[in-house]
């Protein structure tokens, strides 16, 4: 990676990413629910990345990274480690350019996400479910193949790509008082913060994080990045530890983090299904859970909520959602 690629991306880099991925990425819809507005006392605008290619916002960053490579470098392929969404996104982005993709996946990853990675044509490499094991195997594959490492959230090209989501949201929704996004490794919220503050520095940036994987909240509280934590949450997309560059972005943009237990997140997931009529991942629903948990903070405001993806283990999800309230067949 060149020195310029190592720099923290700015608004110009996000604008360039938007132009670069435009031929390949979907412009995802922004949904609104009056009943959820009443419930929260705020105006909620949901950016629905479940409709993005590969089923999550991750395609934006992966696509920008892949299409940023020069031809000679791209020809050697790309490699990453991922619990699912970034791996599927990188595999699909690589396919749009006709190059090889290698994805290191930890044991225990969601089966539906692994199937998506394979369907997109990537080569799977399995490892133990620790960040150390993931990074070690990704480095071994990189050394063996010559492929370029595209990190799931610390790569500035990935962060810039994720920021294109906030550009679209603000273009469609207009003025926002706050933007809420999930926090895992921090690439999404970092990119969104850069993009949003490049347009309006007054927008509050809020992160939503599982209580059982609260390394970002702990890091901000202590002023030092937490590098050792064993995540305990069903939000599988949020089990990664906050990256160094991402932690600095949280601090630079005064990101406020709310931690939620899994029960609150699951309740929000069910509300999204019932009110918006879409099924999203728990890692997406946590953003609405944060607003519900802090109604007084968001009351009266226009709030953008990032629904980050929709790659769900459907059997497990439906088992948890049932029984649901269903009107009788006679229309009663």
Identify the active-site residue in 33, 58, 219, 308: 58
The residue annotated as part of the active site, out of 50, 68, 82, 83, is 83
Residue 319 CA to residue 159 CA, distance in Å, equals: 35
Kindly state the tokens that stand for 228: 């050792």
Partner residues linked to 102 by β-bridges: 79, 123
Paired residues of 204 in beta bridges: 178
- The angle formed by the CA atoms of residues 42, 184 and 104, to the nearest 5 degrees, is 145
123-127 and 101-106 beta bridge pairing: parallel
Query: Residue 313 carries which DSSP code?
Result: -
* Bridging pattern class, strands 30-31 and 43-48: antiparallel
What angle do helix axes 187-199 and 244-252 make, rounded to 10 degrees?
Answer: 30
- Kindly give, in sequence order, each residue whose CB lies less than 8 Å from that of residue 239, ignoring residues fewer than 6 positions away: 83, 184, 213, 231, 233
Q: HSE (CB half, 13 Å, CA atoms) of 265?
A: 26
Give me 59's structure tokens: 């395609």
Longest Cα pair distance anywhere in the chain, in angstroms? 66
Q: Where are the alpha helices (DSSP H) in the chain?
A: 3-6, 11-21, 34-40, 58-68, 71-74, 85-97, 111-119, 131-145, 156-173, 187-199, 215-222, 244-252, 262-275, 282-293, 295-298, 314-321
Known catalytic residue at 58: yes
Q: Which residues lie below 8 Å from residue 128, measured CB to CB, with a gap of 6+?
A: 106, 107
327 is catalytic: no
Catalytic residues: 58, 83
């Amino acid at each position: 990676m060149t020195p310029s690629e190592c720099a923290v991306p700015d608004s110009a880099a996000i604008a360039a990413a938007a132009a670069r991925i435009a031929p390949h990425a979907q412009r995802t819809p922004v949904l609104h629910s009056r009943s959820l507005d009443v419930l929260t006392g705020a105006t909620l605008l949901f950016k629905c990345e479940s409709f993005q290619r590969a089923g999550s916002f991750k395609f934006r960053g992966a696509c920008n990274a892949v299409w940023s490579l020069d031809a000679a470098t791209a020809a050697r392929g790309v490699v990453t480690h991922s619990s699912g969404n970034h791996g599927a996104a990188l595999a699909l982005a690589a396919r749009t350019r006709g190059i090889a993709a290698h994805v290191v996946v930890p044991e225990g990853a969601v089966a539906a996400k692994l199937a998506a990675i394979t369907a997109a044509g990537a080569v799977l490499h399995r490892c133990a479910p620790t960040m150390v094991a993931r990074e070690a195997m990704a480095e071994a594959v990189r050394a063996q193949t010559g492929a370029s490492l595209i990190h799931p959230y610390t790569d500035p090209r990935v962060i810039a790509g994720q920021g294109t989501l906030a550009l679209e949201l603000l273009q469609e929704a207009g003025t926002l008082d706050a933007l809420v996004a999930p926090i895992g490794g921090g690439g999404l919220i970092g990119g969104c913060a850069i993009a949003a503050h490049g347009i309006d520095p007054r927008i509050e940036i809020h992160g939503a994080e599982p209580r059982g994987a609260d390394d970002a909240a702990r890091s901000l509280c202590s002023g030092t990045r937490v590098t050792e934590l064993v995540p305990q949450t069903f939000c599988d997309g949020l089990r990664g530890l906050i990256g160094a560059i991402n932690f600095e972005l949280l601090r630079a943009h005064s990101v406020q983090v709310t931690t939620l237990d899994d029960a609150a997140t699951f309740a929000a997931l069910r509300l999204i299904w019932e009110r918006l009529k879409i099924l999203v991942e728990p890692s997406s629903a946590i953003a609405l859970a944060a607003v519900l948990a802090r109604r007084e903070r968001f009351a009266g405001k226009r709030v953008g909520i990032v629904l980050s993806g929709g790659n769900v283990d459907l059997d497990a999800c439906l088992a948890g959602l049932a029984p649901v309230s269903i009107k009788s067949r006679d229309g009663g």
